[in-house]
Amino acid sequence: MIKRFINKLLGKPAASVRPSFGKRVEVPASVHKINPKLVDERAVNVVLTLKKAGFEAYIVGGAVRDLILGLKPKDFDVATTATPEQVKSLFRRAFIIGRRFRIVHVVYGRGREHEVIEVSTFRAYLDASAAEQVNGNEKTSRRALEGVQHAVDASGRVLRDNVWGPQEEDAARRDFTLNAMYYDPEREIVVDYHKGMQDAQKRTIRMIGDAAGRYREDPVRIIRAVRFAAKLNKLDFQLDKATASPLQECLPLLADVPQSRLFDEMLKLLQTGHAVATIEQLRALGLHKGIYPLLSLAVERADDPFVRSSLQDTDRRVGEGKPVAPSFLLASLLWQDVREAWARKTAKGKPPFVGLQEAIDEVFDARIGDVSGRGKLAADMREIWMMQPRFEKRTGNSPFSLIAQLRFRAGFDFLRLRAANGEIDEALAEWWQAFSTAPDYERDD
Ligand code: ATP
Ligand code: MG
């Protein structure tokens, strides 16, 4: 409210950030040079099925960006003129999900190997002022919003976003020009409304429309700007000046974003293979504080050798296509606090295990707070930490029961990280390495 009032005084429109819809350009294969071998067969199948049924359909978003840059996309999204119900009816295993943003998951394969293609219907561009007309009243209760397909709260945050529209509007509501291109795998053309292709060639990450307004509309875009700057840094991409310059002043807008969403975005920054580059970007852009407390801590501690090697390890593992767990990285980040609290407890005469338990409780209270739904993550972190003193016991049954523990691997990796950084004797880690890889009869020895 106050923000809006000030904006009025300054003569700024409340939230009219409607970008131009641009001009439709069809980029041929000779220019976009997408390697069809990098295009997921199942995504192609989804597109062809939709087209055969008479709808328009394209691969869209990050996958097109990555394909144009010669990178292998990690997942594929499809955008179409078909409504969620129409999409669902065309596939054997398809599920409509989401309320705020209804999309369809088309599922292929089962178990670990399964793959989900996310299909969304082209959405209309409704800026906050248009949405207010739909909404009518700023204080509208959630219940009153049930029937409304697009709605924003008092600060302009989108609560509901299910108004279908033409492709040009769908493109305009995306964030960066690089993320707003559509690929038709049948005709092998890229549809581009916002000069995304040119920006790809110029190595520029540019927000569609007025950057500050778009950050206001959805502050998470601030974090996304950092993420893409970090990810594309190795390809020499730079944030466009007008995209980068309002970042710092827009930071306070993140206060309106739910903690759980910020937490998820933080994990994406740290766990998608560009953790070290992300820290560098955050520093360079003056965003080292103000996104999420644990992230500020990561920036602060990134030069600590132990945290540094954990970040590098995570990047390396992602690069090799290995799984990474957020518990490991966060356990490394907070290990210093746990150790300090633990030392205080034992100095006061607490037995080691009890002292460690209590130290962990303290650190959770101080650093993690209440991010609901994080039960498993916290349990995993606790397990990694609690295993550490158990590695000291190398006789009797103890090693056998430790090695049988579900998260032994994570605990052991953590031990190795400690050894590599001189916190404990390398010999201990080597002993466990030998023990955990030895055949049963040798283990008994
Ligand atoms: P990644 O490779 O990390 O998945 P991505 O670009 O695919 O990157 P997603 O979060 O998967 O990112 O989003 C898919 C697409 O949806 C984006 O490319 C962009 O077009 C659009 N999008 C996602 N989040 C936003 C947002 N906050 N504002 C505008 N458009 C968005
Ligand atoms: Mg994606």
Q: How far does the chain reach from its first CA to its final CA, in angstroms?
A: 72
pTM: 0.87
pLDDT at 139: 36
Answer positive or negative: Cα dihedral of 66, 70, 72, 78: positive
209 lines ligand 1 (CB under 6 A): no
pLDDT at 10: 47
57 lines ligand 1 (CB under 6 A): no
445 catalytic per annotation: no
Q: Which of 175, 192, 380, 413 is catalytic?
A: 175
Residue 300 token pair: 């602060």
- Indicate which residue's Cα is closest to atom 17 of ligand 1: 61
Angle value at C-alpha 422, between 419 and 424, nearest 5 degrees: 55
Q: Which of 75, 153, 184, 210 is catalytic?
A: 75
27/18 Cα distance (integer angstroms): 25
118 lines ligand 1 (CB under 6 A): no
Q: Could you tell me the CATH superfamily of domain 17-129+158-211? A: Beta Polymerase, domain 2 (3.30.460.10)
What's the CATH code, domain 326-444?
Answer: 1.10.3090.10
pLDDT at 375: 80
- Give residue 400's Cα distance to chain centre: 38
Q: Where are the alpha helices (DSSP H) in 240-304?
A: 241-244, 247-250, 259-271, 275-284, 293-301
pLDDT at 131: 45
pLDDT at 159: 54
Residue 224 CA: nearest ligand 1 atom is 27
CA of 4 to the centre of ligand 2 (A): 33
Helix (H) or strand (E) holding 426: helix 426-437
pLDDT at 151: 60
Please report, for the chain, how many H helices and E strands are present, in that order.
25, 12
pLDDT at 150: 58
175 catalytic per annotation: yes
- Indicate which residue's Cα is closest to atom 21 of ligand 1: 174
The segments of the chain whose pLDDT lies below 70 read 1-19, 127-160, 370-373, 440-445
Burial of 50: CB neighbours in 10 Å, binned 0-12, 13-18, 19+ = buried
Q: Which residues pair with 207 in a beta bridge?
A: 176
The amino acid sitting at 117 is: I
CA of 303 to the centre of ligand 2 (A): 30
CA of 365 to the centre of ligand 1 (A): 33
CA of 61 to the centre of ligand 1 (A): 6
Residue 151 token pair: 């709605």
Top mutation candidate among 100, 215, 224 for ligand 1, by most atoms within 8 Å of CB: 224
92/86 Cα distance (integer angstroms): 12
Angle value at C-alpha 330, between 249 and 247, nearest 5 degrees: 10
415/160 Cα distance (integer angstroms): 46
58/121 Cα distance (integer angstroms): 11
- Residue 98: half-sphere exposure toward Cβ, Cα within 13 Å: 16
77 catalytic per annotation: yes
pLDDT at 436: 81
Q: So where are the chain's domains? A: 17-129+158-211, 219-302, 326-444
Residue 178 CA: nearest ligand 1 atom is 18
CA of 384 to the centre of ligand 1 (A): 33
66/72 Cα distance (integer angstroms): 6
Residues 180-224 have pLDDT tens digits of 999 999 999 999 999 999 999 999 999 999 999 999 999 999 999
Whether 416 and 429 have beta carbons less than 8 Å apart is answered as: yes
220 lines ligand 1 (CB under 6 A): yes
pLDDT at 135: 42
Q: Which residues surround ligand 2, an ion (CB under 5 A)?
A: 62
**Could you tell me the maximum CA-CA distance found in the chain, to the nearest angstrom?**
80
pLDDT at 399: 78
3-state secondary structure of 238: strand
62 lines ligand 1 (CB under 6 A): yes
Top mutation candidate among 175, 232, 318 for ligand 1, by most atoms within 8 Å of CB: 175
